[in-house]
Amino acid sequence: MALSSNKRPGMQFIKKPLLITLTVFLCIAVYGQDYPFAKDFTIGRITLRDGTQKLGYMKWFPAQEEKLIFRENSDGEKRKYKPEELQGFTSDTMKFISLSNFEVYAADYALLGNKSNVKHSFGQLLDSGKFNIYLVYFSAYNALSGSMLSYPNILFEKKSDSGFLYAAYPVDIRMTDKKYEKAKEGLYLFFNGYPEIVEKIRLYKKQDSFFGVIDFIKNLN
């Protein structure tokens, strides 16, 4: 679990729980590359740090520290924004929030048992309430395949007096059952005080859909 002391200016969270649609499942299945804006410019809206919103065309590949490319019209000048330069962006029905200083499970965890640090990225907001839930991606070199791979994580967020607390859980990453069980420990600490959530996570197995856990948390959000 990671703690960020940054006070993030908020894009207004959607107050009603979002449905986790088939789109989310497809995005995970192809490691985020099914996002339409990952390959081509699509219509979207960005929100600057001061709350100013701009509608135009945007392109962003889902990975940590990846800059979002934006232009106000189809043939306009391109401008690049770091994740920390925006509050977030929207594309179609999807909403993404700028996130900072958290840890995820990726190649180093699968091979060595070490989590990876993320300084800045965007996360797709799946639900909001007492706990905000995001889908995030981390790109890293995989020594076994000899290539760069994208590692999806579900990221949970809650606010504290000093900033934001985070806990991630790996989704669809090739590794042993033992390491999936080990990854639950951060969730047990994060959801301390909610024994029903902790028990739901404890009963979850790798062959199950983790979205069953997410739906359970949404009902308590």
Domains of the chain, residue spans: 2-220
pLDDT at 23 (0 to 100): 41
Asked whether the whole model's pTM tops 0.75, one would answer yes
Residues 6+ apart with CB under 8 A from 113: 179, 182
Total residues belonging to the chain: 221
- Of the CA atoms within 13 Å of residue 199, those in its CB half-sphere come to 4
The 2-4 sheet, strands edge to edge: 2-4, 163-170, 147-160, 132-142, 116-127, 94-104, 86-91, 42-48, 53-59, 68-71, 79-81
pLDDT by 10s per residue, the chain, length 221: 444 445 565 554 444 444 444 444 444 443 444 799 999 999 999 999 999 999 999 999 999 999 999 999 989 999 999 999 999 999 999 999 999 999 999 999 988 889 999 999 999 999 999 999 999 999 988 777 788 889 999 999 999 888 899 999 998 888 899 999 999 999 999 999 999 999 999 999 988 889 999 999 999 99
Give, in order, the Cα–Cα distances in Å from 86 to each of 50, 112, 129, 210: 9, 34, 22, 30
